[in-house]
């Protein structure tokens, strides 16, 4: 992998940042959490509100964020969405965890992330979960599962008429989808590109690879998110500005960015 250019990493400090008005960040990690996080649910919402954003999505690998999102929304008067990640801490591929999240108002169901390597996916249980997802108009996100399992999930969801699907950070090492696989996935899902993959303490991905994926697939089937919240990375709103500058530097237009950061998240969530 080529290294991230430092002039892009720090571009937010040298150029006028683009406004985030109407944007949604579909991938933010906040505290409380097992790992130290840079900011709380409420602080992340307040930051986004100050920037004029439309909404944010908070995620935890270890516990549902459904109820936390409601509290953050009420405290800040700003739309915050949450859900549940199907890791071992909630019983893995557990339909009851999804039902509970839905009853609280959870919007997202992420498939396993940090527990993926230790979970044997029971596809019969997945089908039960998909019925709950469809009934409650939730959004499926693929988490850290590998391409073979992603395609199985996409086929099952398609057979049930479910279209609100996100393939999380396909270019990361944990997922590792090829460009051809990404194109195939985009027929039935939105591909979420996260700027955290370009950070030195993560995948150190060259943003050119994200640009190439967006151009190949089309911005109408992609999302831009940060996946920020780590204590050693910038605040998510600053990360989003960095991401925008990086993509513009690589030839992505403002119209394409608006599709990925405004229109597409709005379709999925609303």
| pLDDT tens string 106-151 | 999 999 999 999 999 999 999 999 999 999 999 999 999 999 999 9
CA distance 23 to 20: 5
Q: Please check the confidence at residue 241 and state whether its pLDDT lies above 60.
A: yes
Q: Please check the confidence at residue 29 and state whether its pLDDT lies above 60.
A: yes
Structure tokens at 177: 């989808």
Q: Please check the confidence at residue 16 and state whether its pLDDT lies above 80.
A: no
Q: Which residue has the higher pLDDT, 118 or 7?
A: 118
In the prediction, which pLDDT does 136 show? 98
Q: pTM, whole model, 2 decimals?
A: 0.93
Token pair 């119209």 is found at: 255
- Backbone CA torsion sign across 179, 185, 191, 195: negative
- 180-227: per-residue pLDDT in tens? 999 999 999 999 999 999 999 999 999 999 999 999 999 999 999 999
In the prediction, which pLDDT does 13 show? 37
Q: Helix or strand or coil: residue 143? A: coil
Structure tokens at 63: 């516990």
CATH no. for 6-269: 3.20.20.140
Percentage of the chain exceeding pLDDT 90: 92
Query: Hey, where are the domains in the chain?
Result: 6-269
Phi and psi, residue 149, nearest 5°: -70, -35
């Amino acid at each position: 992998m080529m290294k991230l250019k430092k002039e892009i990493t720090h571009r937010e400090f040298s150029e006028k940042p683009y406004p985030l008005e109407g944007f949604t960040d579909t991938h933010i990690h906040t505290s409380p959490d097992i790992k130290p996080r840079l900011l709380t649910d409420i602080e992340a919402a307040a930051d986004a509100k100050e920037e004029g954003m439309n909404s944010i999505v908070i995620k935890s690998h270890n516990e549902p964020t459904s109820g936390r999102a409601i509290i953050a929304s009420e405290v800040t008067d700003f739309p915050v969405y949450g859900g549940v990640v199907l890791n071992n801490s909630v019983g893995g591929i557990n339909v009851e965890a999804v039902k509970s999240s839905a009853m609280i108002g959870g919007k997202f169901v992420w498939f396993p992330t940090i527990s993926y390597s230790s979970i044997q996916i029971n596809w019969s249980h997945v089908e039960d979960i998909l019925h709950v997802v469809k009934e409650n108009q939730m959004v499926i996100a693929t988490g850290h599962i590998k391409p073979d399992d992603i395609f199985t999930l996409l086929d099952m969801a398609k057979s049930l008429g479910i279209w609100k699907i996100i393939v999380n950070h396909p270019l990361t090492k944990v997922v590792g989808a090829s460009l051809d696989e990404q194109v195939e996935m985009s027929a039935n899902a939105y591909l979420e590109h996260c700027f955290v993959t370009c950070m030195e303490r993560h995948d150190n991905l060259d943003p050119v690879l994200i640009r190439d994926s967006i151009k190949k697939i089309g911005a109408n089937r992609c999302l831009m998110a940060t996946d920020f919240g780590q204590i050693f990375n910038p605040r998510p709103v600053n990360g989003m500005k960095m991401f925008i500058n990086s993509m513009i530097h690589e030839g992505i237009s403002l119209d394409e960015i608006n599709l990925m950061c405004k229109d597409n998240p709005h379709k999925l969530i609303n």
